[in-house]
Structure 1
Amino acid sequence: MTDSISDIVHRLIEPFNQKGVAVTATTLFAQDLEWDSLTVLDFVANVEDEFDILITMNQQAEIETVGQLVSAVGELQAK
């Protein structure tokens, strides 16, 4: 299940990956992808729609890497 979540998250990142960064589980959204707050909001909205989940502002603040996001999505889907 984690692989499919990871694949989907990577697909959702692509349109926002303006720098062409090679995305891995350790890729940092702010530092590596250089996303601003508006980009993050757009991306999170896409993730929420794709997985039919709600990521709170507190959860967003704790998620810094792609791997952390994949884990969080898995946990939220399990609820």
Structure 2
Amino acid sequence: MTDRAELFDSITALIAPFNKKDVALTDATTFAGDLEWDSLTVMDFVAAVEDEFDILITMNMQAEIETVGQLVDAVAKLKGA
């Protein structure tokens, strides 16, 4: 599971500049509830993730992703890992 751990670390590093409240990040951390992100922050963050991993996250996918863990799994799936 090292690949998932590395992916988690990469994604949490991307979250850091957006993590204004310095929330401890786990698989269960929610973007709306725990991190209190608004839609603009989400869009900026999604763009950063897409650029970092050279993937495209659809609007439908974004609507289903509520936690850091779900995002890690979605990126892994999109990358074919």
Structures share fold, TM-score greater than 0.5: yes
Partner residue in 2 for 1:44: 46
Partner residue in 1 for 2:13: 11
Structure 1: which amino acid aligns with 2:71?
Answer: L
Partner residue in 2 for 1:65: 67
d(CA) in 1 for partners of 2:43, 2:64: 14
How many percent identity over aligned positions? Answer: 66
Gaps of 5+ in 1: none
Structure 1 residue 11: deviation in Å?
0.1
Normalising by the residue count of structure 1, what TM-score does the alignment of the two structures yield? Answer: 0.97
Normalising by the residue count of structure 2, what TM-score does the alignment of the two structures yield? Answer: 0.95
Partner residue in 2 for 1:32: 34
Aligned length, in residue pairs: 79
Structure 1 moving runs of 4+ over 2 Å: none
d(CA) in 2 for partners of 1:27, 1:3: 15
CA RMSD of aligned residues (A): 1.0
Structure 1 residue 4: deviation in Å?
1.2
Gaps of 5+ in 2: none
d(CA) in 1 for partners of 2:33, 2:5: 24
d(CA) in 2 for partners of 1:20, 1:53: 27
